[in-house]
């Protein structure tokens, strides 16, 4: 794979940035990758494990001469970083981000992007419950979607270059508008995370009553909840505050459905429960048949690539 950018700057050296670095290096997508982390401890760790060609102590050294600047920080601070880097950006450079929410990030960042610099927001739909510079790995984006959310008036050539970059990182790339992105992600990612956090919280309350049986005998479904609920608190606090409207809309619908199921259980309405579960099972079957779940054991990794 050929080099796509001469110099890439990664700001915030956590799970996503570190995975990007290893994926960039695997495919030779950049001449040089510079990285910046706010804390001296993270920068030290990054140097120790060889993360980035150069770990910088300042934002100006990181961004200087970069053709692609990637904001890999929690969504609540994207605007603060944009303010700081704006005067340092090279004309013709592209600024992108990997934030889990798009409308609010665009509102925070766009006003600060100088004329002559491209801004192409993005979101790789891949992650784990781990965070920090040691958590990344080159394969994170393989066969996962990366959504690009170009704002009005963006140069199509800048979008196309970023698309080729993400494809080089192993992802399948699609474009979507910001509001639609935020509603879709509220359904597929944000509300499920909140439900997992709640379920694990409920179990923890119960644990005090049952003296650790909840954890000891936890079955597969609950273990999956605990994995998701172990995700970074700062990242997820910011996601909910940033995607407030869409998340509340989906949680409202979720609560209505939950009440209906609760009533069916109370009234012994087995038909309602059976019909509901039949419908949801068909949805899962449809996902597998469409080749959209690359983790499904009956489908196999890698088969999801279009
Ligand atoms: N973790 C996931 O599953 C996942 C998936 C896709 C997208 N994202 C998005 O990617 C971004 C980064 O997430 P991550 O999982 O890599 O998080 P992470 O916690 O592993 O890393 C975040 C980094 O940002 C730094 N940071 C925090 N506040 C900062 C500030 N004010 N100034 C400078 N640096 C700051 C942290 O020190 C850390 O190095 C977030 O916007 C998140 O929404 C996460
Ligand atoms: O697999 C996980 O651990 C994730 O939570 C990854 C996940 C998701 O919900 O799918 C989390 C947040 C993102 O913005 C994108 C991906």
Which residue among 72, 137, 184, 240 has the greatest number of ligand 1 atoms within 8 angstroms of its CB, and so is best to mutate? 72
The b-or-e profile of 42-60 (16+ CB within 10 A means b, else e) is: bbebbeeeebbbebbeebe
Ligand nearest to the CA of 99: 1
Residue with tokens 């012994």: 268
**pTM (two decimals):** 0.93
180-289: CATH, from 3.40.50.2300, 3.40.50.620, 1.10.1040.10, 1.10.3660.10? 1.10.3660.10
Give the span between the Cα atoms of 141 and 130, in whole angstroms.
15
Atom of ligand 2 nearest to the CA of 126: 16
CA 209 to chain centre: 36
Tell me if 139 sits within 8 A of 197, measured CB to CB. no
Ligand nearest to the CA of 190: 2
Domain 5-176 has CATH 3.40.50.720: yes
In the reported structure, the alpha carbon of residue 270 is separated from the centroid of ligand 1 by a whole-number distance in angstroms of 45
List, chain by chain if needed, residues with CB within 6 Å of any ligand 1 atom: 12-17, 37-39, 42, 72-75, 77, 98-100, 124, 127, 131-132, 232, 235, 239
Residue nearest to atom 40 of ligand 1 (CA): 74
Tell me if 130 sits within 8 A of 145, measured CB to CB. no
Give, for all 306 residues of the chain, the pLDDT tens digit.
789 999 999 999 999 999 999 999 999 999 999 999 999 999 999 999 999 999 999 999 999 999 999 999 999 999 999 999 999 999 999 999 999 999 999 999 999 999 999 999 999 999 999 999 999 999 999 999 999 999 999 999 999 999 999 999 999 999 999 999 999 999 999 999 999 999 888 887 776 666 667 666 776 778 888 889 999 999 999 999 999 999 999 999 999 999 999 999 999 999 999 999 999 999 888 888 887 665 554 433 333 222
Residue with tokens 């597929």: 188
Give the span between the Cα atoms of 47 and 41, in whole angstroms.
10
ipTM confidence score: 0.98
In the reported structure, the alpha carbon of residue 298 is separated from the centroid of ligand 2 by a whole-number distance in angstroms of 22
Q: Are strands 122-124 and 5-11 parallel, antiparallel or unpaired?
A: unpaired
131 lines ligand 2 (CB under 6 A): no
Query: Taking the domains of the chain in order of start, what are their residue ranges?
Result: 5-176, 180-289
- Which helix (H) or strand (E) segment holds residue 222: the answer is helix 220-229
Residue with tokens 């273990």: 223
In the reported structure, the alpha carbon of residue 223 is separated from the centroid of ligand 1 by a whole-number distance in angstroms of 24
Quick one: 291 exposed, middle or buried, by C-beta within 10 A (0-12, 13-18, 19+)?
middle
Cβ neighbours for 2, distance < 8 A, ≥ 6 positions apart: 28
Task: Please choose, from the candidates 124, 74, 101, the residue with its C-alpha nearest in 3D space to the C-alpha of residue 246.
Answer: 101
């Amino acid at each position: 794979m050929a080099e796509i950018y001469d110099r890439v700057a990664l700001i915030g050296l956590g799970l996503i940035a570190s995975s990007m670095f290893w994926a960039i290096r695997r495919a030779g997508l950049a001449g040089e990758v510079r990285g910046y982390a706010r804390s001296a401890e993270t920068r030290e760790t990054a140097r120790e494990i060889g993360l980035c060609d150069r770990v910088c102590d300042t934002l100006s050294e990181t961004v200087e001469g970069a053709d692609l600047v990637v904001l890999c920080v929690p969504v609540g601070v994207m605007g603060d970083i944009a303010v700081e880097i704006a005067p340092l950006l090279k004309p013709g450079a592209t600024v992108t981000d990997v934030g889990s929410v798009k409308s609010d990030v665009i509102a925070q960042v766009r006003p600060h992007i100088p004329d002559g610099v491209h801004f192409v927001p993005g979101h790789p739909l891949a992650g784990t419950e781990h965070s920090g510079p040691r958590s990344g790995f080159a394969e994170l984006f393989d066969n996962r979607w990366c959504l690009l959310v170009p704002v009005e008036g963006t140069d199509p050539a800048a979008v196309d270059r970023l698309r080729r970059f993400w494809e080089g990182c192993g992802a399948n790339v699609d474009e979507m508008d910001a509001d639609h992105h935020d509603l879709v992600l509220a359904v597929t990612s944000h509300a499920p995370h909140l439900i997992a956090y709640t379920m694990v919280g409920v179990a923890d309350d119960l644990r005090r009553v049952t003296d650790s049986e909840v954890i000891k005998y936890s079955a597969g479904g609950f273990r999956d909840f605990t994995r998701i609920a172990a995700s970074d608190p700062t990242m997820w606090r910011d996601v909910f505050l940033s995607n407030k409207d869409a998340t509340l809309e989906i949680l409202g619908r979720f609560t209505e459905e939950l009440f209906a199921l609760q009533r069916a259980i109370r009234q012994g309405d087995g038909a309602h429960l059976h019909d509901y579960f039949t419908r949801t099972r068909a949805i899962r079957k449809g996902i597998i048949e469409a080749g959209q779940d690359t983790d499904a054991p009956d489908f196999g990794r890698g088969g999801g690539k279009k």
